[in-house]
Amino acid sequence: MTQRPPPRIDPHLVTDRSVDRLPRGIFDQRAAELSKLLASRPSAPDRPPEATRWQDEVIARDIPRGARVLDLGCGNGGLLQLLRNRKQAVGYGVELSPDLIM
């Protein structure tokens, strides 16, 4: 069995503590920008939740059984459903696009 290399970690991301807090209102500003961008793009085609992407299979390999998962930009929840069925994971999803929320 081949061993996987350890995940790459950006040392600056881990060690840079120069910013104590994000500027006030930055989250709301970024969320508004993202919402505007998403509204300007054509909506994603409907996909049944059981239809998985190849990325979902890669992610599912690394999620331990019974894990708690937060999926940001979960779309129609396909990855969360896959993890619930295969790994008995407890999942929560956040999606900004109203067209994708089921």
The per-residue pLDDT string of the chain (102 residues; one tens digit each, 9 = 90 and over) reads 677 776 665 555 555 555 566 677 877 887 787 777 767 766 555 555 455 677 888 888 889 999 999 999 888 888 999 999 999 999 999 988 877 776
| Residue type at position 72 | L
Name the pTM for this structure.
0.50
pLDDT at 42: 61
Q: Determine phi and psi for 66, rounding to 5 degrees.
A: 80, 10
Angle between helices 78-87 and 54-62 (to 10 degrees): 40
pLDDT at 57: 85
